[in-house]
Amino acid sequence: MAATEKELMAARIFMRAVFPVIKVMLSDVPSMKKKFENVKARVQFVADNDGEKIGACLVFDNGDFSVEQGVGESADITFSFKTVKKMNDMLAGKPVLPSIKGWGKPGLLIKVLGLLMSLKIMMPSARPKKEDKKHLKVKLAFYMITTALSQYNKGGNPEMVKWTKKQPDRIYQMSVEGTDIAAYLRVKAGNSKAGRGFYQRRRPFVHMKFHGVDGALAVLLRDVEFVSGVAEGKVTIEGAPEYGAQINDFMQRIQALVT
């Protein structure tokens, strides 16, 4: 069965925006870092799309991590799905059982499944209580959403493409006061690129400053709407506030795609 445009966009965001933040899990979570520090393996995700194979490969290299887009010739473990929708559903945390090749390496399989389960902290339903987990959730969200915004544009969403095309070189910065959490989206004449940290070359066109991790969580979890969050002091917009609201609208659309 051929995937819909919406399903293909969701898959693109999972593979190009969600998978890359696994690198943060492996560097910032001591237990995960220890589990994978001596792992050298390839883990393939592949879905059938009416005869076409769509997927990405997680590459673990003794503490290093990267994501290769597409379907390679070999992997230590392969998760196969009959449709793109089924792959998206599993990655969104829904009960889907893929075909798994790699049962001969149970230790690796258990580690990978545990790693995938740990990504549930990114879901809207996850409400961590411990401060380190709150910090991790917001950091993962910022890194994922800025990359997802760029992929939403590169993947051809009509409204996002129209929005980026009419803009000169602009920086949309997000940060959380009192922390190291920061990420940005650069937009220029239809092109887009995400980055982590603070953009250094010029002042942002829009800077969304969240007041602490709890303030960021309140907005990300939609305990308060974005406009209310601004009014209540949970986030300050420096620059053009109407463009900040537009970015938030695209963020909400992306969140709806992957949940």
Q: Could you tell me if 247 and 149 lie in one domain?
A: yes
User: What is the count of structural domains for the chain?
Assistant: 2
Last residue of a domain, one of 122, 143, 173: 122
Quote the pLDDT of residue 99.
96
Q: Could you tell me if 138 and 162 lie in one domain?
A: yes
Quote the pLDDT of residue 192.
97
pLDDT, tens digit, 9 for 90 and up, residues 9-53 = 999 999 999 999 999 999 999 999 999 999 999 999 999 999 999
Quote the pLDDT of residue 231.
87
Quote the pLDDT of residue 1.
76
110: three-class secondary structure by DSSP: helix
Average confidence (pLDDT) over 116-129: 92
Quote the pLDDT of residue 224.
86
User: Hey, what are 215's tokens?
Assistant: 């303030």
**Statement: residue 244 has pLDDT above 90:** no
**Helix (H) or strand (E) run with residue 151 in it:** helix 131-154
Last residue of a domain, one of 122, 148, 169: 122
Q: Quote the domain boundaries for residue 179.
A: 131-257
Query: Rounded distance, CA 120 to CA 32, Å?
Result: 14
Q: Could you tell me if 140 and 100 lie in one domain?
A: no
232 vs 183, higher pLDDT: 183
Q: Could you tell me if 174 and 206 lie in one domain?
A: yes
Q: Could you tell me if 102 and 163 lie in one domain?
A: no
3: three-class secondary structure by DSSP: coil
The DSSP symbol for 122 reads: G
Closest CA to 246 of 182, 187, 195, 203: 187
Q: Could you tell me if 16 and 92 lie in one domain?
A: yes
Q: Could you tell me if 65 and 105 lie in one domain?
A: yes
Q: Could you tell me if 141 and 118 lie in one domain?
A: no
- Give the global pTM: 0.94
**Statement: residue 70 has pLDDT above 90:** yes
The CATH number assigned to the domain holding 184 equals 3.30.1050.10
Average confidence (pLDDT) over 156-163: 96
CB proximity list for 81: less than 8 A, separation 6 or greater: 45, 46, 47, 48, 87, 90, 96, 98, 99
Q: Could you tell me if 135 and 161 lie in one domain?
A: yes
